[in-house]
Amino acid sequence: MSFETFADFLAMGKHGLYVWLCYGVAVLVIAGNVLALRRQRRRFFREAAALQKRREADSA
Amino acid sequence: MPLKTLWHRMGSPRWMYQMSGSWVWVLGVMATVLLIVGSLWGLAFAPADYQQGNSFRIIYIHVPTAIVSQSTYMLLGAAGLVLLVWRMKVADMVLATAVPFGMSMTALALFTGAVWGKPTWGTWWVWDARTTSMLVLLFLYFGLYALRQAIPRQETAGRACAVLALVGVINIPIIKYSVDWWLTLHQPATFKLTEAPAMPPEMWLPLAVNVLGIYCLLGAVLLAALRLEILRRERDTQWVRELVAAR
Amino acid sequence: MSVAGVFVGQLRREFKLLLQSREELANPLIFLFLALTLFALGGGGSPEMLRDFAPAIIWVLVLLANLLALEGLFRRDYDDGSLEMLVLMAEPLFLPVLAKILAHWIYSGLAMTVLAPLAALILFLPAEVLPTLLLTLLVGTPALSLIGAIGAALTVSLRRGGVLLALLVLPLYVPVLIFGAGAVVEAMAGIENMAQIYWLLVITMVALTIAPFLVSAALKISLEQ
Count of CB pairs separated by less than 8 Å, B with C: 81
- Neighbours of C, requiring at least 3 CB pairs below 8 Å, are B
Q: Do the domain assignments include residue B18?
A: no
Chain C contact present for B163, CB below 8 A:
yes
Cβ-based contacts of C199 with chain B (< 8 Å)? 178, 181
Question: What's the rounded Cα separation, in Å, for the pair A33 and A49?
Answer: 25
Radius of gyration of chain C (CA): 18
Q: How many domains does chain A have?
A: 1
- Neighbours of A, requiring at least 3 CB pairs below 8 Å, are B
Chosen for mutation from B164, B167, B175 (greatest number of chain C CBs closer than 10 Å) is B167
Residue in C212, C222, C193 with CA at minimum distance from that of residue C105: C212
Whether residue B113 contacts residue A25, with contact meaning beta carbons closer than 8 Å, is answered with no
Most confident range, picked from B60-64, B98-102, B201-205, C94-98: B98-102
CB contact under 8 A, B147 and C155: yes
Over chain B, what is the mean pLDDT? 85
Identify the bridge partners of residue C25 per DSSP, sorted by sequence position. Answer: none
pTM of the predicted protein model: 0.89
CB contact under 8 A, A37 and B228: yes
Restricting to B residues 46-75, those with a Cβ less than 8 Å away from any Cβ of A are 46-48, 53-55, 57-58, 61-62, 65
C137-172 burial by CB neighbour count: b if 16+ within 10 A, else e? Answer: bbbbbbbbbbbbbbbbbbbbbbeebeebbbbbbbbb
Please calculate the CA angle A43-A45-A49 and round it to the nearest 5 degrees.
120
Return phi, psi of residue B53, to 5°.
70, -140
* Res. B8: pLDDT tops 80: no
Question: What angle do helix axes C3-20 and C22-42 make, rounded to 10 degrees?
Answer: 70
Q: Which candidate from B163, B174, B185 shows the least CB-CB separation from C175?
A: B174
Counting residues of chain C whose pLDDT is more than 70, the rounded percentage is 98
DSSP C74-99: HHHHHHTTHHHHHHHH-SSTHHHHHH
Cβ-based contacts of A1 with chain B (< 8 Å)? 44-45
pLDDT band for B126, please (50, 70, 90 cuts): confident
Q: Do the domain assignments include residue B15?
A: no
CB contact under 8 A, B43 and A19: yes
pLDDT band for B224, please (50, 70, 90 cuts): very high
Q: Do the domain assignments include residue A2?
A: no
* Res. B191: pLDDT tops 50: no
Cβ-based contacts of B185 with chain C (< 8 Å)? 182, 185-186
Whether residue C177 contacts residue C184, with contact meaning beta carbons closer than 8 Å, is answered with no
Whether residue B92 contacts residue B99, with contact meaning beta carbons closer than 8 Å, is answered with no
Q: How many domains does chain B have?
A: 1
Q: Which candidate from B143, B153, B178 shows the least CB-CB separation from C168?
A: B143
* Res. C91: pLDDT tops 80: no
pLDDT band for C77, please (50, 70, 90 cuts): confident
C-alpha distance from residue B98 to each of A37, A58, A60, B145 (Å): 12, 38, 41, 10
Residue of C nearest to B178 (CA): C175
Query: For residue A16, how many C-alpha atoms fall within 13 Å in the half-sphere facing its CB?
Result: 10
Mean per-residue pLDDT, C75-86: 86
What pLDDT, on a 0 to 100 scale, did the predictor assign at position A12? 76
* Res. B189: pLDDT tops 50: no
Q: Which candidate from C171, C172, C225 shows the least CB-CB separation from B153?
A: C225
Q: Cis omega (within 30 of 0) on the bond before B13?
A: no
Whether residue C161 contacts residue C71, with contact meaning beta carbons closer than 8 Å, is answered with yes
Tell me the nearest-neighbour CA distance from B173 into chain C, angstroms: 10
What pLDDT, on a 0 to 100 scale, did the predictor assign at position C26? 75
Contact B/A (≥3 CB pairs under 8 Å): yes
Counting residues of chain B whose pLDDT is more than 90, the rounded percentage is 47
C-alpha distance from residue B183 to each of B177, C105, C182, C183 (Å): 10, 30, 11, 13
Mean per-residue pLDDT, B129-141: 89
What pLDDT, on a 0 to 100 scale, did the predictor assign at position B124? 86
Residue in B7, B92, A15 with CA at minimum distance from that of residue C221: B92
Contact A/C (≥3 CB pairs under 8 Å): no
What pLDDT, on a 0 to 100 scale, did the predictor assign at position C211? 93
Chain B contact present for C26, CB below 8 A:
no
CB atoms within 10 A of CB B3: 7
pLDDT band for B192, please (50, 70, 90 cuts): very low
Residue in C212, B247, C50, B53 with CA at minimum distance from that of residue A19: B53
Question: What's the rounded Cα separation, in Å, for the pair A5 and B73?
Answer: 42
* Res. B214: pLDDT tops 90: yes
CB contact under 8 A, A29 and B108: yes
Lowest mean pLDDT among B67-71, B152-156, C20-24, C169-173: C20-24
Over chain C, what is the mean pLDDT? 88
Lowest mean pLDDT among A12-26, C11-25, C129-143: C11-25
Question: When comparing pLDDT for B179 and B35, which is higher?
Answer: B35
Q: Which candidate from C178, C210, C217 shows the least CB-CB separation from B170?
A: C210
- Neighbours of B, requiring at least 3 CB pairs below 8 Å, are A, C
Residue type present at position C157: S
Q: Do the domain assignments include residue B6?
A: no
* Res. B83: pLDDT tops 90: yes
Q: Which candidate from B140, B163, B175 shows the least CB-CB separation from C175?
A: B175
Whether residue B166 contacts residue B157, with contact meaning beta carbons closer than 8 Å, is answered with no
Q: Burial, A35: exposed, middle or buried (Cβ in 10 Å; 0-12, 13-18, 19+)?
A: exposed
Question: What's the rounded Cα separation, in Å, for the pair B226 and B230?
Answer: 6
Chain A contact present for B221, CB below 8 A:
yes
Q: How many domains does chain C have?
A: 1
- Domain span at residue C109 reads 3-224
- Domain span at residue A35 reads 16-59
Rounded to the nearest angstrom, the gap between the alpha carbon of residue B222 and the centroid of all alpha carbons in its chain is 9
- Domain span at residue B239 reads 24-246
Q: Do the domain assignments include residue B1?
A: no
* Res. B7: pLDDT tops 50: yes
Whether residue C95 contacts residue C174, with contact meaning beta carbons closer than 8 Å, is answered with no
Tell me the nearest-neighbour CA distance from A33 into chain B, angstroms: 7
Lowest mean pLDDT among B117-121, C23-27, C168-172, C201-205: C23-27
Q: Do the domain assignments include residue A8?
A: no
Whether residue A19 contacts residue B52, with contact meaning beta carbons closer than 8 Å, is answered with no
Chosen for mutation from B83, B137, B174 (greatest number of chain C CBs closer than 10 Å) is B174
* Res. B5: pLDDT tops 80: no
Question: When comparing pLDDT for A2 and C208, which is higher?
Answer: C208
Q: What would the pLDDT profile of B29-78 be if each residue is shown by its tens digit?
A: 999 999 999 999 988 888 877 777 778 888 899 999 999 999 999 999 99
What pLDDT, on a 0 to 100 scale, did the predictor assign at position B187? 45
